[in-house]
């Protein structure tokens, strides 16, 4: 298993990696994503697994009869955020194949079908909504909404899929498929620092509710050298104050608020901007706190906008309610792994989307620095291998005689 893990890791490592930053740019339906997808299909076929592409562009590799029901599914995603790390997503997919290799070497006898999945567009880096593949499958993102999604160049999601050689005509809820799954387990690198030195692996208890909101600050373009300060309607000012307010409100509430993406029009050094678009990502331990924090940020933006002569518009682009992972499945995993830590996370996952429809659990592999969504994201190989063994133990418990 160690060899197969190392080989797979080395194969994926260069795909979509920027030579300058060392980060990844594997965005839905781009060429790096296509390479990752070809790699997944190759892994499936090399192991004699039945390869399947579902109606939403998610990839599946089946051991046993996909139609038998009560299947045990594991996997994650292969796409990345802009300049993402190597582990967020790929560690789960590589570990899934390596865990199957491990179970085969143990001579495990399966009495349930097992599948490995690569969910499409988990990060939402291209079309703004995270977990598109699993959301479509679970029916929490509708086909009509999905058809309206556009990337930064104005390319519609169905056109991007078509260009990459996929048929977007059939996208939508896939109840039949979910009805044939008894449990889903996603292994993922930990994205914070909950796991202590002594614990390379943990089990997830919950995912914080989180969402994405777009603030449009409409001002007036004008000359940087001739427009008196009192004559300006500068949306940059309102935006900057909103960022400060977000930080303050979130801190006071014990929540998180991030403006990580911004677009400026016309984006000229010597022109006051006409429009600033700022995307807020906010998360909290419970939905009431999240709602309150976003409302406070909204109020701060509107009040500041009035002072600045800037019109503020707010659009909620996506929202994921709190996820409490299936209690019996979570306890079964923790027990099978000998009492590992059970921890919540603020990061979103396909497992969080599926948890509303099927029993779902997650395993986390220790991240020594907690850094994620960055080229510096890291996990020690020994911890990754411990993760593979833990996943194999869990799958054996769930799917074998």
Task: Count CB-CB contacts under 10 A for residue 295.
Answer: 12
Applying CB under 5 A, the span of 81-89, 265-273, 292-300, 315-323 interacting with Mn ion comes to 81-89
88 vs 393, beta carbon nearer Mn ion? 88
Query: Closest residue (Cβ) to Mn ion?
Result: 88
- Minimum distance between the CB of residue 24 and ligand GLV, rounded to whole angstroms? 13
202 vs 348, beta carbon nearer Mn ion? 348
Applying CB under 5 A, the span of 84-92, 206-214, 279-287, 319-327 interacting with Mn ion comes to 84-92
| Whether 254 contacts 285, CB under 8 Å | yes
- Minimum distance between the CB of residue 135 and ligand GLV, rounded to whole angstroms? 13
Half-sphere CA count of 202, side-chain side, radius 13 A: 22
- Minimum distance between the CB of residue 78 and ligand GLV, rounded to whole angstroms? 13
350 vs 396, beta carbon nearer ligand GLV? 350
- Minimum distance between the CB of residue 134 and Mn ion, rounded to whole angstroms? 11
Applying CB under 5 A, the span of 12-20, 244-252, 303-311, 341-349 interacting with Mn ion comes to 341-349
352 touching Mn ion, by CB under 5 A: no
Q: CB-based contacts of 179: which residues, under 8 Å, 6+ apart?
A: 69
Q: Kindly report the backbone phi and psi dihedral angles of residue 38, in degrees, each rounded to the nearest multiple of 5, phi listed first.
A: -65, -40
Task: Count CB-CB contacts under 10 A for residue 6.
Answer: 15
Would you call the peptide bond into 266 cis, given omega within 30 degrees of 0 as the criterion?
yes
- Pick one of ligand GLV, Mn ion, none as the site partner of residue 113 (Cβ within 5 to 8 A by kind): none
- Minimum distance between the CB of residue 189 and ligand GLV, rounded to whole angstroms? 10
Applying CB under 5 A, the span of 156-164, 234-242, 250-258, 342-350 interacting with Mn ion comes to 342-350
- Minimum distance between the CB of residue 123 and ligand GLV, rounded to whole angstroms? 6
Q: CB-based contacts of 23: which residues, under 8 Å, 6+ apart?
A: 17, 80, 82, 83, 84, 85, 374, 375
Subset of 88-107 contacting Mn ion (CB under 5 A): 88-89
- Pick one of Mn ion, ligand GLV, none as the site partner of residue 89 (Cβ within 5 to 8 A by kind): Mn ion
102 vs 123, beta carbon nearer ligand GLV? 123
- Minimum distance between the CB of residue 92 and Mn ion, rounded to whole angstroms? 7
Task: Count CB-CB contacts under 10 A for residue 309.
Answer: 16
Determine the Cα angle at 282 with ends 278 and 283, to 5°. 170
CA dihedral for 232, 235, 241, 245, sign (positive or negative) = positive
296 vs 383, beta carbon nearer Mn ion? 383
387 touching Mn ion, by CB under 5 A: no
DSSP codes, 327-379: HHHHHHHHHHTTS--EEEESS--HHHHHTTTS-EEEEEE--SS---SSTT---
Query: Closest residue (Cβ) to ligand GLV?
Result: 348
Residue ranges in contact with ligand GLV by CB under 6 A: 123, 130, 347-348
Helix segments in 264-326, DSSP class H = 287-308
- Minimum distance between the CB of residue 91 and Mn ion, rounded to whole angstroms? 9
Mapped onto helix, strand or coil, the DSSP state of residue 185 is strand
Give 193's DSSP letter. S
Q: Kindly report the backbone phi and psi dihedral angles of residue 386, in degrees, each rounded to the nearest multiple of 5, phi listed first.
A: -65, -40
| Whether 372 contacts 154, CB under 8 Å | no
Kind plus residue range of the DSSP H or E element containing 242:
helix 235-253
Residue indicated by tokens 């002072």: 307
348 touching Mn ion, by CB under 5 A: yes
Mapped onto helix, strand or coil, the DSSP state of residue 210 is strand
Nearest CA among 94, 116, 90 for reference residue 26 = 90
133 vs 348, beta carbon nearer Mn ion? 348
Pattern of binders to Mn ion over 152-181, x per CB under 5 A? ------------------------------
348 vs 387, beta carbon nearer ligand GLV? 348
- Minimum distance between the CB of residue 55 and ligand GLV, rounded to whole angstroms? 23
Instruction: Write out the residues near Mn ion by the rule CB under 5 A.
Output: 88-89, 348
């Amino acid at each position: 298993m160690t060899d197969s893990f190392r080989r797979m890791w080395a194969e994926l490592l260069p795909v979509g990696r920027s030579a300058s930053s060392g980060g990844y740019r594997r965005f839905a339906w781009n060429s790096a994503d296509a390479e990752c997808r070809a790699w997944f299909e190759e892994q499936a076929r090399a192991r004699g697994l039945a390869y399947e592409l579902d109606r939403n562009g998610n990839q599946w590799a089946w051991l046993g009869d996909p139609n038998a029901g009560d299947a045990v599914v594991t996997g994650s995603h292969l796409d990345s955020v802009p300049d993402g790390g190597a582990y967020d997503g790929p560690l789960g997919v590589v570990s899934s194949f390596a865990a199957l290799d491990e179970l085969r070497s143990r001579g495990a006898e399966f009495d349930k079908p097992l599948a490995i999945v690569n969910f499409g567009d988990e990060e939402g880096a291209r079309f703004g909504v995270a977990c598109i593949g699993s959301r479509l499958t679970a029916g929490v993102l509708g086909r009509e909404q999905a058809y309206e999604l556009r990337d930064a160049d104005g390319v519609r999601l169905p056109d991007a899929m078509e260009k990459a050689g996929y048929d977007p005509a059939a996208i939508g809820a896939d109840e039949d498929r979910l009805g044939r799954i008894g449990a889903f387990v996603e292994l993922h690198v930990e994205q914070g620092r909950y796991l202590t030195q002594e614990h390379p692996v943990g089990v997830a208890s919950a995912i914080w509710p989180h969402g994405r909101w777009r603030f449009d600050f409409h001002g007036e373009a004008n000359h940087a050298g001739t427009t008196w300060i009192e004559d300006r309607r500068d949306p940059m000012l309102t935006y900057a104050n909103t960022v400060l307010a977000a930080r303050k409100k979130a801190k006071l509430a014990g929540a998180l608020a991030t403006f990580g993406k911004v677009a400026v029009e016309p984006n000229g050094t010597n022109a006051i901007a006409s429009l600033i678009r700022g995307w807020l990502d906010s998360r909290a331990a419970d939905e009431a706190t999240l709602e309150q924090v976003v409302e406070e940020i909204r109020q701060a933006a509107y009040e500041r906008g009035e002072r600045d002569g800037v019109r503020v518009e707010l659009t909620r682009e996506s929202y994921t309610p709190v996820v409490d992972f299936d209690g019996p499945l979570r306890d079964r995993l923790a027990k099978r792994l000998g009492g590992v830590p059970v921890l919540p996370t603020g990061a979103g996952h396909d497992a969080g989307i599926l948890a509303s429809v099927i029993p779902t659990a997650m395993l986390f592999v220790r991240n020594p620095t907690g850094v994620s969504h960055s080229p510096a994201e890291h996990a020690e190989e020994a911890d990754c291998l411990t993760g593979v063994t833990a996943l194999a133990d869990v799958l054996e418990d769930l799917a074998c005689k």
